[in-house]
Each structure stands twice: as C-alpha cells, then as structure tokens.
Amino acid sequence: MLQRKILSQLQAWKQKPRDQKKALILQGARQVGKTYAIRSFGAAAYDQVLEINFKETPSAMEIFSGDLDVKSLLTAIRFRYPQVPLEPDRTLLFLDEIQECPEAITSLKFWAQDQRFDVIASGSLLGIDYKRPSSYPVGYVEHLSMAGLDFEEFLWSQGIDSSLIEKLRECFETRTPVPQAIHGELLRLFRVYTALGGMPEVVFQYQQSRDFLAADRVQRDLLQGYLYDIAHYASPEEKIKAEKCYLSLSRQLLEKENHKFQYKEVEQGGRAQKYYSSLEWLMKADMVYQARNVNRILYDLSDYELADNFRIYPSDLSLLMAMRDFDLKRQIVEDVLTGHTVGGVYECALMDQLHKNGHTLHYFRDESSRKDIDALMQQNGQVIPLEFKSRNAVSASLNQLMKSRDDLPLAYKIARANIGVSENRIITIPHYMIMFL
C-alpha cells in the first residue's frame, strides 16, 4: 500500500460540521490513485461505503435518469443496491467516473442541500466540455486535486521514515548541511524517482520488483491509456491534433536548449491557430500543465505573462519517460546524461515537484539578452526566483538578478550541491529539497 497525502485532506473534509460540508469532487488525471485513495479513506472512516462506478456499470446511470431530489435518489439506490444500508453519517456514497453521468454531477447540489450523507465524486477528464451537465452545482461542491506521487510520497514508498524527512526539513529551515552519506543517497533516490515518475502503478511495480524494465512496461501501458482517452473523448476535429501535441512534448523538453512550446515541433509549419485549441483540451483534461513566461519579475506575476510564450509539461514524469527509449532511464539513474537532455530532464523533474506542491508556474526568459530564470514562485506578496542546475554550475543570470534587485528577499539555486547561502541571498539546496518549497 502506498501512503498518500490526500488521505489527510479527505479526513479534514469529513470532520467539517454538517451544515458547512459540501459534496466533494476529487479531480485529477487518470491512474493517479483517486479511486484507491477514496476506497482506503472510506474503509477507515465509515461503517459502509456504497461505490457506484459509471464507467464500469453504465446501467447505474438509470438511478439519475428521473427526479434528482434526494428522496427519489435514495429509493432508486436502495432498490438497486439493497445489500448496502444507507445510513446518515455512517455511509459514504462514492460516485466514481462521474464524468460519464452528467445528471449525477447535477445531483451533487441536492445531496449537499440535504446534508445527511457524505458524498464524494471522482473522475478524470472532468475539465473538458464532453458531456458537461447543463446545471453544474456551483456553490454546492468543493474540489480537491490529486496528482501522482510527489518525491516525499516516493520516499515513504522506499521505506524512508518520516522522522528522517523531518530532520531534512530542519536542515532546510536552518540552512544546515545534510550529512554526506545521507545527502548522496537522497540524490540517488531523486534520480530513481525522476526515471520512474510518480504514477502509483509504476512506483508500486518498482517497490515490489526493483526492476526498471517492469516499471518501463507499466509506464508505456499508461501512455497508451492516455492516448486512448484522447481518441475516445476529444472531439473529432481535435483527436489527431491533441495526440500530436502530446507526443511532441519529449522533443519540446528534452531535445532543445529553449524549452518554449513551439508548434513547428508538432509538425513542420505548425501554427498556433491550428493547434492551440488542442493544447487547451489537454490542459482541461489534466494531461498537461503549463508554465508561462513573464516579461518582468514583479508581483503579481500573472500581470506580466506573455500569452504566446509558455512551456508545456506532461502531468507526470512517468508519461514523459514513456515517450523515450528505455536507455534514458539508465542514463538518469547512472548519472551519465549529457547535452541538452540533462538540463531538460532536471527542469522537468523540478517543475513536476513545484506543480505537485500547488505552485502556479512562471519563468523568465529574455531572448534578446539571453537572460534566463528557470522558475519563479510567489509567497506573501513577493517573488522568489529559482535556478535549476543538474550539477553545481555557476548561476550567472541568477547572480546578476539578485545583485541588481534588493526587493527580492531570496532566491534558490537547486543543484547537486549540499545546502549553502551566498552573499547575494541565494540559498543553494540539493535537488531533493525541492519537496520543501
């Protein structure tokens, strides 16, 4: 069993007072562990769980084909599932793959108004227009997002005790170097995580077998599942374009020095007019996420976004690895990457952690001056620049920026090195400590 952070968030939702609790939608890309997490939570927190999976049992949609008041729904559910008692406060109603049943989405309003039952809905592709209900229950649901395992969750899967992680957090907060033996092992584990990604099935396969080839097969199966979803759910005019955009990401991110998304990498002569709607579909489907370039490093970064200048990343490293030959994993784990690929791999791995930590992603790249800041965070009304290094090279752009900008409180250089602080307010941290940002 893989330990997941989402369980504590689900527990916090359950403990809300009844008159303040809404129905809950757990959203995220396919195969990130949503169903497993809800089942685990339900088994531990309720006397019984009634799970209705609309993809597995399409006939269950008939329950929601008539009146959607709770009294009518309870009658239909009890008739269909007489073996599961529906008791207020003791039964969790779990509506899985709810995107397949728009009426069930609409019904969440009435469950929330009734206030007797805890209801969790889950599904992939909830952000796309396909089968969108005419009456979405705005104001009656709250949302949680779930992604693949972050690096801290991966460490748990590898038997790293939480007490050690807390000691690492203390080192991060006090700027104290990590003992060299632990530092070296955590750098190795970060490389392993980068090669595997965070998709639960991949991590579980590696946890059980320690076999990268077996994990590689799972990664490729997952990629095929994502391509199937594009073919199945995208509109006819978007199917081929969305697949081309998606499969171009390994070239966009690993084969070029500039990782700006370029339509010419999708096909020769490609243009935004043809492909941007396909990118939007992929983002709404939680298959990719975006980092936007800004023309000024000032709070609020969203005010300075360049609409036509951005980078696109797959929702999890597992999918990016499946787009490449198996040898890429060997090079990552054995630490022999070279050329543009090494920078691209570490950028993707570190951006992946920032995304999973909930950051809205920005970066700064000025083509004329060649100044480049890999990522920008915002905290407490201030901007914090980040520089990514696969080794421990000099960060010329970051050094220059911090010398010229007294208003920036600090910056992070994330590199192979141990913790250290420079005179320019630049804090160097090892790759694995990005989990604390």
215 with 194, same domain: the answer is: yes
Here the CATH number for the domain that contains residue 86 is 3.40.50.300
Residue 291 lies in a domain: yes
303 with 421, same domain: the answer is: yes
Q: Give the predicted TM-score (pTM) of the model.
A: 0.95
Q: Alpha helices of 178-316 — where are they, by DSSP H?
A: 180-196, 200-209, 212-233, 239-247, 249-254, 272-284
Task: Tell which of 125, 145, 165 closes a domain.
Answer: 145
30 with 174, same domain: the answer is: no
157 with 139, same domain: the answer is: no
275 with 204, same domain: the answer is: yes
128 with 184, same domain: the answer is: no
241 with 264, same domain: the answer is: yes
Task: Please tell me the distance from the alpha carbon of residue 347 to that of residue 362, in angstroms, as a whole number.
Answer: 13
pLDDT attached to residue 226 = 97
Residue 385 · residue 395 · CB < 8 Å: no
pLDDT attached to residue 134 = 57
Find the helix or strand (DSSP H, E) in which 23 lies. Answer: strand 23-27
Phi, psi dihedral angles at 155 (to 5 degrees): -60, -40
| Residue type present at position 411 | A
Residue 361 lies in a domain: yes
| CA–CA–CA angle 156, 160, 163 (5° rounding) | 100
| Token pair for 256 | 């070029």
Q: Alpha helices of 323-422 — where are they, by DSSP H?
A: 327-334, 339-356, 396-404
What's the total number of domains in the chain? 2
Task: Please tell me the distance from the alpha carbon of residue 7 to that of residue 15, in angstroms, as a whole number.
Answer: 13
| Token pair for 251 | 């070239």
175 with 267, same domain: the answer is: yes
Residue 11 lies in a domain: yes
Residue 1 lies in a domain: no
pLDDT attached to residue 405 = 95
309 with 188, same domain: the answer is: yes
Residue 220 lies in a domain: yes
46 C-beta neighbours (distance < 10 Å), count: 18
102 with 196, same domain: the answer is: no
pLDDT attached to residue 156 = 98
Task: Tell which of 93, 122, 145 closes a domain.
Answer: 145
Residue 404 lies in a domain: yes
CA 411, distance to chain mean position in Å, is 24
| Token pair for 182 | 């632990």
SS3 53: strand
Task: Please tell me the distance from the alpha carbon of residue 192 to that of residue 117, in angstroms, as a whole number.
Answer: 43
Both ends of the chain: CA-CA distance in Å? 26
141 with 155, same domain: the answer is: no
Q: For residue 341, give every residue at least 6 positions away whose Cβ sits within 8 Å of its Cβ, in sequence order, or none.
A: 254, 255, 328, 331
pLDDT attached to residue 127 = 83
122 with 181, same domain: the answer is: no
Task: Tell which of 145, 168, 192 closes a domain.
Answer: 145
pLDDT attached to residue 400 = 94
Task: Please tell me the distance from the alpha carbon of residue 265 to that of residue 245, in angstroms, as a whole number.
Answer: 9
Task: Please tell me the distance from the alpha carbon of residue 291 to that of residue 252, in angstroms, as a whole number.
Answer: 13
pLDDT in 10s for each residue of the chain, 437 residues:
899 999 999 999 999 999 999 999 999 999 999 999 999 999 999 999 999 999 999 999 999 999 999 999 999 999 999 999 999 999 999 999 999 999 999 999 999 999 999 999 999 888 875 455 557 888 999 999 999 999 999 999 999 999 999 999 999 999 999 999 999 999 999 999 999 999 999 999 999 999 999 999 999 999 999 999 999 999 999 999 999 999 999 999 999 989 999 999 999 999 999 999 999 999 999 999 999 999 999 999 999 999 999 999 999 999 999 999 999 999 999 999 988 899 999 999 999 999 999 999 999 998 777 789 999 999 999 999 999 999 988 889 999 999 999 999 999 999 999 999 988 999 999 999 999 99
pLDDT attached to residue 152 = 98
**Full domain range(s) for residue 284:** 151-436
